[in-house]
């Protein structure tokens, strides 16, 4: 590689390396220009690659907006909220419907947003209970030997492809709960929320475990040292100190539930109902894009409207992630002494 080998030269001549006092010139040797250029080229090469993630975030932003904002060529912002229906007698009424393929196209996102929330919120609540519990168990209660096996199980859980979960909710979950609860629709928000929790639980569990793990051991020792029980230590000392980390994990889980596609596409029923009944079919923002993008003609209003939904999704998850990241960074700073 590098060819500056005066050391090598002396050796191959078989010199004793030790006649040093004679040879004092090496120190004055100036930087080899080629080495310097090569090193800085390498540095710039890595620097360009280093910005990849940032560049892609910016590109995602640009290209979502580039396509999505063209929706406003024919659709007004207010159309994404409600459609003004003119009756024959001249009166108008507000319609909250998503029906872009109709002759009287309706683009209200309200049913899709409600559908998203009706699946994501119950999923997050359920996952918080199970995930935080599992995280506490992993970090504070399980013995180290058990932990070595249990943590990978949580990771395996996180590795199940979502299409598999959607499939199981569709063919197993739906039938089971249909017999058990007799819901309004066989495929409904509740079934989808259950499926989503399989995705969200591992996220909340492992991030909760991280948050608890990052709490300095001194705190535990101090608490046990003044005679606190395990329960007192966890509830009065550990959990309060980990609140921010745990809330960050819940935010990230919520973001994931909002952004998940396959499970809701397969299990939520996909009818754009406005409802608060969790046992009714709903349609989420993600499922709408997934189901309609394949059939829509490029460049139509409908097509751009789907990109607009993408913008809404991206923005929501972007800010949820950002807030979670800020919380986690604050926590890290606080916990490093």
Stretch that binds another protein, among 80-88, 216-224, 272-280, 319-327 (CB under 8 A): 319-327
Stretch that binds another protein, among 73-81, 103-111, 162-170, 273-281 (CB under 8 A): 162-170
Q: How far is the CB of 334 from another protein (least distance, A)?
A: 17
Helical axes 189-213 vs 110-136, angle rounded to 10°: 40
Residue 93 CB, shortest distance to another protein, in Å, is 32
Q: Binding mask 9-48 vs another protein (x if CB under 8 A, - otherwise)?
A: -xxx----xx-xx--x-xxxxxxx--x--xx--xx-xxx-
* Count of residues interacting with another protein (CB under 8 A): 110
Residue listed under structure tokens 């690659």: 49
Residues 56-95, mask of contacts with another protein (x by CB under 8 A): xx-xx--xx-xx----------------------------
> How far is the C-alpha of 257 from the C-alpha of 153, rounded, in Å?
21
- The C-alpha atoms of residue 299 and residue 277 are separated, in whole angstroms, by 36
Angle between helical axes of 239-259 and 110-136 (0-180°, round to 10): 140
Q: Which of 73, 161, 217, 333 binds another protein (CB under 8 A)?
A: 161
CA–CA separation, 73 and 81 (whole Å): 16
Q: How far is the CB of 91 from another protein (least distance, A)?
A: 38
Interface residue with another protein among 72, 96, 99, 157 (CB under 8 A) is: 157
Which residue, 28 or 102, is less far from another protein as judged by CB? 28
Q: What is the token pair recorded at 89?
A: 């007698």
Beta bridge partners, 179, equal none
Q: Which residues contact 271 (CB under 8 A, 6 or more apart)?
A: 185, 280, 281, 282, 283
Q: Which helix (H) or strand (E) holds 114?
A: helix 110-136
Binding-residue pattern over the window 122 to 151 for another protein, x denoting contact by CB under 8 A? -------xx--xx-xxx--xx-----x-x-
């Amino acid at each position: 590689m590098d060819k500056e080998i005066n050391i090598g030269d002396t050796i191959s001549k078989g010199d004793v390396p030790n006649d040093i006092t004679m040879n004092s010139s090496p120190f004055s040797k100036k930087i080899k220009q080629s080495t310097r250029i090569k090193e800085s080229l390498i540095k710039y090469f890595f620097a360009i690659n280093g910005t990849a993630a940032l560049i892609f975030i910016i590109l995602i932003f640009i290209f979502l907006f580039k396509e999505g904002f063209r929706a406003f060529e024919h659709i007004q912002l207010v159309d994404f909220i409600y459609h003004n229906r003119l009756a024959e007698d001249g009166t108008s009424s507000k319609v909250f419907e998503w029906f872009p393929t109709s002759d009287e196209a309706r683009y209200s996102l309200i049913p899709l947003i409600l559908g998203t929330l009706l699946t994501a919120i119950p999923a997050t609540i359920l996952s918080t209970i199970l995930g935080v519990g599992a995280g506490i168990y992993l970090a504070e209660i399980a013995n180290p030997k058990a932990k070595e096996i249990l943590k990978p199980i949580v990771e395996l859980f996180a590795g199940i492809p979502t299409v598999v979960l959607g499939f199981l909710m569709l063919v197993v979950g739906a039938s089971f709960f249909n017999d058990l609860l007799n819901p309004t629709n066989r495929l409904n928000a509740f079934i989808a929320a259950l499926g989503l929790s399989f995705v969200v639980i591992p996220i909340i569990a492992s991030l909760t475990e991280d948050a608890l793990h990052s709490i300095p051991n001194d705190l535990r020792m101090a608490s046990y040292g003044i005679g606190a029980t395990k329960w007192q230590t966890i509830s009065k000392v550990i959990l309060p100190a980990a609140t921010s980390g745990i809330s960050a994990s819940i935010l990230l889980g919520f973001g994931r539930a909002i952004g998940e596609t396959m499970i809701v596409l397969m299990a939520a029923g996909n009818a754009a109902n406005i409802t608060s009944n969790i046992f009714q079919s709903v349609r989420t923002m993600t499922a709408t894009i997934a189901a309609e993008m394949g059939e829509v003609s490029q460049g139509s209003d409908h097509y751009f409207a789907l990109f607009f939904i993408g913008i809404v999704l991206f923005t929501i998850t972007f800010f949820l992630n950002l807030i979670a990241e800020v919380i986690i960074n604050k926590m890290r700073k606080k916990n490093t002494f």
